[in-house]
Amino acid sequence: MKQLFIPIACTFAGIILLAACKNNTEVVKEVAAFNADSAKATIAANNKAYSEAIAKGDSTSFVNLYTDDLCLYAPNTPEICGKAGVGKFFGMIKQMGVKGLVLKTTEVFGNKDVITEIGTYDMQIVGGKSVDKGKYVVVWKQVNGELKMHRDIFNSDVPLPAIAPMAK
């Protein structure tokens, strides 16, 4: 009985190792299927649609570029999660008179399911006057075959106004 145990245990261990190697090969093939140029083109098209939605005051198109469980992290505000919250955010930027947003992607990386975009922005009012410039990071996520914004954070490069010293 003891003589059969060692060969059976070795055979079982070998099967487990072979199965593990097979799974790793599948992961490598899946990662290799990601096409960075295609992702960049899709992000560029979505960024154009985002900017057009702002210019037209189209909150529906703006909100639909995000996932249902999105979170937006704008400067000087608490996190905004969900499409209803982003709809209110859109109303706020519309009320501020924002009519244009120039986005420039500087870096894209990820895989076929989740992509990170890094870039700069120039927020403009009527006449193309710049009112804010800064940088952003967007995490894009595949949802039913569409690439949508899942996490969106941006920070202004415009210095805050000086705070007056406190009276003694």
Per-residue pLDDT of the chain (168 residues; tens, 9 = 90+): 455 544 444 444 444 444 455 454 444 444 456 788 999 999 999 999 999 999 999 999 999 999 999 999 999 999 999 999 999 999 999 999 999 999 999 999 999 999 999 999 999 998 889 999 999 999 999 999 999 999 999 999 999 888 878 877
- The predicted structure's pLDDT at residue 16: 44
- Note the pLDDT of residue 12: 44
Which pLDDT does position 9 carry in this prediction? 42
CATH code for the domain defined by 34-156: 3.10.450.50
Q: Report the length, in residues, of the chain.
A: 168
How far apart CA 163 and CA 44 sit, in angstroms, is 39
Phi-psi region of 20 (alpha: psi -120 to 50; beta: other; left: phi over 0): alpha
Q: Which residues pair with 62 in a beta bridge?
A: none
Domain parsing of the chain, residue ranges: 34-156
8 A C-beta contact, residue 138 and residue 120: no
pLDDT of residue 3: 56
